[in-house]
Each structure stands twice: as C-alpha cells, then as structure tokens.
Chain A
Amino acid sequence: MKPVRSIRSRTVVLPTRDIDTDQIIAARFLTTTSKEGLGERAFFDLRYNKDGSEKSDFILNKAEARGCNVLIAGNNFGCGSSREHAPWALLDYGFEAVISTEIADIFRSNSLKNGLVAIVVDEKTHSWLLENPGADVGIDIEATTISLPDGRSVDFSMDGFARHCLLEGVDQLGFLRHQMNCIEKFEETRPWKP
C-alpha cells in the first residue's frame, strides 16, 4: 500500500442514507479475479441507463463532479456485503477518501487496508459538507483533521493503527507475519485443538 499523508480535493456529495456495497459495485461485476479496472463499474446502475447511456441527473456524471476525489456520503455508507471490490472500485474510480456520519464496519476495515481513507465526522460537520458540495477540503492524516474552505479545522478520530498504516504505507500482512513466533507458541499451548 502506498503511504497516504494528506488529501486535498473538492468534494462530491451522495446524500442518500445506507448506500450498500451492492450499489457501489454490483455482484455481476464480482466475477473478476483481479483488483484492476473496477472503477468503470463503480455505482454502475446509478450512473448508466439500460442502453448504456449516462444518467445525466446522477451527480458523478455532472461536469462539476470531475476531479472531486473526496466523497461525502449519507449515514451508514458501505453497509451490506463484505466485498473488497467496493473500495477497489472507488479507488480505481479516483476517490481518495469517503466521509460520513457512520461507515459500515467491514467496508471501513477493507477501505483503510487499501488506502481509501474512510472518515467518520460529527453530524454538524457532515451537514455542512452535505450542504456545500464541491467544497475544497484538506485532510491531514497525521493530525486527523479536515480543513474546510471557511478556515475551520475539524478533528476526526481514527484508530491509531489504521492511521499509522496509512501514513507509513504499512503492509499489514508483513506486520502479522512478524508475529509468527507468538502465533506458533499460541498453537502449541492451546488447551484444545480446533
């Protein structure tokens, strides 16, 4: 994973609550065996009509959404399936961060492991972000702050380990493999065999 220290971008707003991972990447696109190229499929049924033409009223198809790499989403973003294809698709599409009042557990865990910065903010900040699409925001992972264009800086909380992994680009498999002595010892001393 590449280190992520800070993000500066305009926001795009998807205010709907409970956007599930089926909306982010539909099951019919999960027959891939790689992580590549899923961005074209992100939010597919929201972006395209049956005949393949773009839905002009969907926010990501509007000119003002181009180059907006921070997604402001309604409460409980990423609920449902554990498919890691969801953060893969969002990253491949160009998103670097997603901000909501609540982000589903598995999606959040998957996102942070891939460098998609999943951030939970308070309701007041969230309301402001929902009401100000296209706002130019700065996310500082080290300081765990979001700077808003009006000069305010808002704190958010992030698990210390997830933050460290983002900042240093830590490969968590490597981290786990460094615990192999402990794992072997645990297996030997277990009172019962699984």
Chain B
Amino acid sequence: MSIPETLFEKVWADHVVVEETVDTPAVLYVDLHIIHEVTTPQAFSVLRANGLPVRRPDLTLPTLDHSTPTTRVSTFKDLLVAGEGAANQVRQMEQNCEEFGLDLLGYGSGKRGIVHVIGPELGATQPGKTIVCGDSHSSTHGAFGALAFGIGTTEVGHVLATQCLLQRKPKTLEVNVEGTLPAGVTAKDVILAVIGKIGVDGGTGHVIEYRGDAITAFTMEERMTICNMSIEGGARAGMIAPDDTTIDYLQGRPRAPQREEWDAAVPRWRELRTDEGASFDHAVTINANQLTPMVTFGTNPGMVIGINEPVPEGNDASFRKALDYMQVESGKPMTEAAVDVVFVGSCTNGRLSDIEEAARVLEGRKVADGVRMLVVPGSEQVKADAEAKGLDKVIEAAGAEWREAGCSMCIGMNGDIAQPGQLSVSTSNRNFEGRQGVGARTVLASPATAAASAIAGHVADPRNYP
C-alpha cells in the first residue's frame, strides 16, 4: 500500500522535474504562468539581454490590471490618468507581448481583468496544476486544488525562459473550519478569523490546506476569497481539494478541457484529495458556528476582531504604533469609526457574487453623505455579468461609483487612492500603512460589511442591513 499523501504532496510530486537534494532545490514545472505589467518588465529585459524566447507562450497568460486606471480607457491619453509611469508600463507590456509572441488579454479583448480573477473565469485555473504569477495573491488559484503561489521578478524570468522554478518543498499546515456559518457571516470573515488565529507569520514556510464542512459548503468564489488571503497568514499557497463544486464551476469554460479531454480530466481531478491517514506538519481548527462579521483594527490583517468586539489591549511598541496610525483606541469597538471611503473590489472580493452581495445591501438605500464608495469589478467579464443583472444601476442609484475593471484601491498605483487620514472600509486584502494612499487608514471587511458601512457612514454590522 502506498504512503498516504496530502493534496499538496500529490500536486508537488506530479511536477518535480529534478528532485531536490541537500545541495540543490527541486526543479518544479509550471503549468500556468500569469503575468501583468508591474512585475514583468525587468524579466523581459533579462530575456532580451540573453537572446532568449518565451519558452511556452501557450502556458503564459498576460493581462493588464495593477497600474490601469478604473476610468474608461479608449486612447493612450486616457491611461495618463494613472500617471506617466503607469501609462509607460502598460505600453511596455503591450510591446513585450507583441515582441515575444504572447496573446495579451488587454484593452479591447473583453477578457482583461485582475490576474486572479481571469484565470479561474476563463477555466485556465484547474485542479492539479502548478500556477505562478508575480503577485503574492496567486494563492487564490489554490481554491481549485492547484498549487499556486506568488514569485518575484527574477523567478518570472526563470519561468518565461524555462517554464520551471527552483523550489524547496514547503511544509504543510491544515486549517480545519468546522461547523456552519451563522447568517450574515461570509468567507471573508472566515479567512480574517483564520489569520487572526494563526497570525500574519503563522503560515511562513508552509502550504495551507483548508478543510472541514464550512469549506466544502462554500461556492468556488467563496473558496477563492479564502485561498486568496493565505499569504496574509504568511503561507505562499493555500489549497482546497476539488469536488463537484469545482467541477461544475469549470465545465464549459473556454480554457477548461473540452469533450474527451474533459472526460479524462474529471476522474484525475477527483483523485486530488488528502488521503486518509496523511499527516500535516501543523494543524489548527476554527469553529464556524461562533464567527461574526470581522473587521481589522490595526495595520496588518492579523489585527482583526469581531464587529462588536472592542479593540484589544496591547503594550508593545509595534502594537501601539499601529493603533496610533489607525487613530483607534483599545476598549472601543470599530463601529464608532467614521468612514470616508468604501471600496468593493480586488482579487479577494471583486467577483460577481461579491458585487451582488454589496448591491443587495445597497438596494433601496443611499450611501451616507460625505462617503465615497467605489465598486470595481475584478474583470471585464465580471463587469458585463453584473451589468446584465442590472447591478450597476442599483449601485449608482445608491450613490456609489461603478468603475472599470482593475486592482484599483487595493494597491493604489492606478489613480484610485484614499487621502491622508481618511478611513477606508475595503474588501481588499491588506491594511498596511499607506497601502491605499499615503496616510490612508484601511479597515478590511467583507463586501456586505463594506456596503453597510457606506450606508451608515461608520463601520457597521451588515446583519443590521438585511
């Protein structure tokens, strides 16, 4: 009988070109390389300097997302909204793709969008694949049972040139989410609670596998929200075993296997689960029954509390520095904090179900005076789907802005930022100092909490907005 293996170990073993030794890391094959304009220019320069082609254009998926404005772009001049550097970067990506024979899903394609939204939506993200991108939220694709992680630009060059990476095998961390989520509590609240429990470095050196009945009950979009934030717990990758939900999601998508290939793929995908008796290096369990909507109070995603809990006490300098920056006090709940900006979008929460959730809360209500709310679809496809459902009308009627697809205020390098001192309730993934603009204060939350906060004008419990 073979040794029981975890899901991660199965996918890892399937991609080892050369085994690791004490002296050398493994050579690991990459099935899908998603690239964007911000972390690739220097990698293309290395190819050019060495006279190398892109080895597998067919396994390379380029798009534009990080530095693109979320206002309409029809000419080069429109790009300048985000600044000359950003415009130049977009133009260079277009030139690099042309020079190296890559099919860019750019302007006019109807398929442009955030790297981690378009991969799944096209069906390019599949169980058992290795997927990398020069972006730390590549962990998102692990929701399909892929091994997916972020890489630096030097490694982007390695994959472009060889389709491989040099990697040491990471350890494994099992995160069990048991029970049933109470009404009004979402996948975003679960992952924030997980990070609160393990800490922002709890997953360092590990790949997480999310298991338990609360996880299997999630839709694919909810599972993507979970895996997306694995890196905020320090883990480069997070995975969920594929099941009927995964297979139903992928069927019929343009880049998913078709006909006989589909019939061959499905039984192979069903094998991709942790065997009975397989062991993880570490394990934690979270009880879903007791969760409430979660909000962050500090300057990293591990500084998180239930919506009605008070900001905790803390004595060390790093903790106090975070509270000073956020202008919050120990002992008081976050619901007392007045809101200036609300952002719904990003690779964490910029999919159709997220926009639907925000629109459900906004319907028939108005964004509070003085609050600016941006709703930014994760891709051009999400935008089209939302508009087909009339969600754009609901959002605009409530007084929020309905924007073009992109990373927007999650990264704040495309023209969408909060002003110094402003408080932003954001469905994105990082509340680091200055992440959404110099001096901007970010509170991470679910789309429902973000929309409720926009209406209330302060951080608000979405369960009060049924």
Say whether A52 faces chain B, with CB atoms less than 8 Å apart.
Answer: no
Say whether A27 faces chain B, with CB atoms less than 8 Å apart.
Answer: yes
Closest-CB distance, A52 to chain B (whole angstroms): 12
B86 touches A160 (CB 8 A): no
Residues in A neighbouring B432, C-beta threshold 8 A: 20, 22-23, 80
Total chain A interface residues with beta-carbon distance under 8 A = 52
B92 touches A102 (CB 8 A): no
| Given A74-B318, A83-B39: A20 touches B59 (CB 8 Å cut-off) | no
B158 touches A172 (CB 8 A): yes
B162 touches A177 (CB 8 A): yes
Say whether B268 faces chain A, with CB atoms less than 8 Å apart.
Answer: yes
Residues in A neighbouring B18, C-beta threshold 8 A: 179, 182
Instruction: Annotate A177-192 by CB proximity to B: 1 below 8 A, 0 otherwise.
Output: 1011011001100001
Closest-CB distance, A78 to chain B (whole angstroms): 10
Residues in B neighbouring A28, C-beta threshold 8 A: 412-413
Residues in B neighbouring A126, C-beta threshold 8 A: none
B234 touches A76 (CB 8 A): yes
Q: CA of A75 to CA of B316 in the docked complex: distance in angstroms?
A: 13
Instruction: Annotate B407-450 by CB proximity to A: 1 below 8 A, 0 otherwise.
Output: 00001110000001000000000101111001100000000000
Total chain B interface residues with beta-carbon distance under 8 A = 73
Say whether B22 faces chain A, with CB atoms less than 8 Å apart.
Answer: yes
A22 touches B435 (CB 8 A): yes
Closest-CB distance, A80 to chain B (whole angstroms): 6
Interface residues of A in 56-90 (CB under 8 A from B): 74-76, 79-84
Closest-CB distance, A77 to chain B (whole angstroms): 10
Interface residues of A in 105-146 (CB under 8 A from B): 105-106, 109-110, 113-114
Q: CA of A194 to CA of B134 in the docked complex: distance in angstroms?
A: 20
Q: CA of A173 to CA of B166 in the docked complex: distance in angstroms?
A: 9
Say whether B236 faces chain A, with CB atoms less than 8 Å apart.
Answer: yes
A183 touches B162 (CB 8 A): yes
> Which of B29, B234, B434 is close to A26, meaning CB atoms less than 8 Å apart?
B434
Q: CA of A186 to CA of B42 in the docked complex: distance in angstroms?
A: 28
A106 touches B204 (CB 8 A): no
Q: CA of A106 to CA of B136 in the docked complex: distance in angstroms?
A: 8
| Given A20-B430, A74-B318, A80-B136: A106 touches B150 (CB 8 Å cut-off) | yes
Say whether A18 faces chain B, with CB atoms less than 8 Å apart.
Answer: yes
Residues in B neighbouring A55, C-beta threshold 8 A: none
Say whether B123 faces chain A, with CB atoms less than 8 Å apart.
Answer: no
> Which of B158, B236, B435 is close to A106, meaning CB atoms less than 8 Å apart?
B236
Interface 9-residue window, one of A3-11, A32-40, A91-99: A32-40
Q: CA of A50 to CA of B419 in the docked complex: distance in angstroms?
A: 12
Q: CA of A28 to CA of B89 in the docked complex: distance in angstroms?
A: 12
From A23, which residue of chain B is reached at the shortest CB distance?
B433
In the A-B complex, list the 5 residue pairs whose CB atoms are closest, starting with the nearest: A31-B85, A194-B31, A33-B41, A110-B152, A84-B152
What are 23 A-B pairs at a CB distance below 8 A?
A: A18-B200, A27-B412, A27-B435, A28-B413, A30-B67, A31-B38, A31-B88, A31-B413, A34-B45, A45-B439, A82-B136, A83-B152, A110-B155, A159-B168, A161-B25, A173-B157, A179-B27, A179-B162, A183-B163, A183-B164, A187-B29, A192-B265, A194-B31
* Extra A-B contacts (13), CB below 8 Å, given A26-B434, A160-B24: A15-B318, A22-B435, A28-B412, A31-B38, A31-B86, A31-B413, A82-B136, A84-B152, A160-B22, A173-B157, A186-B29, A192-B268, A194-B31
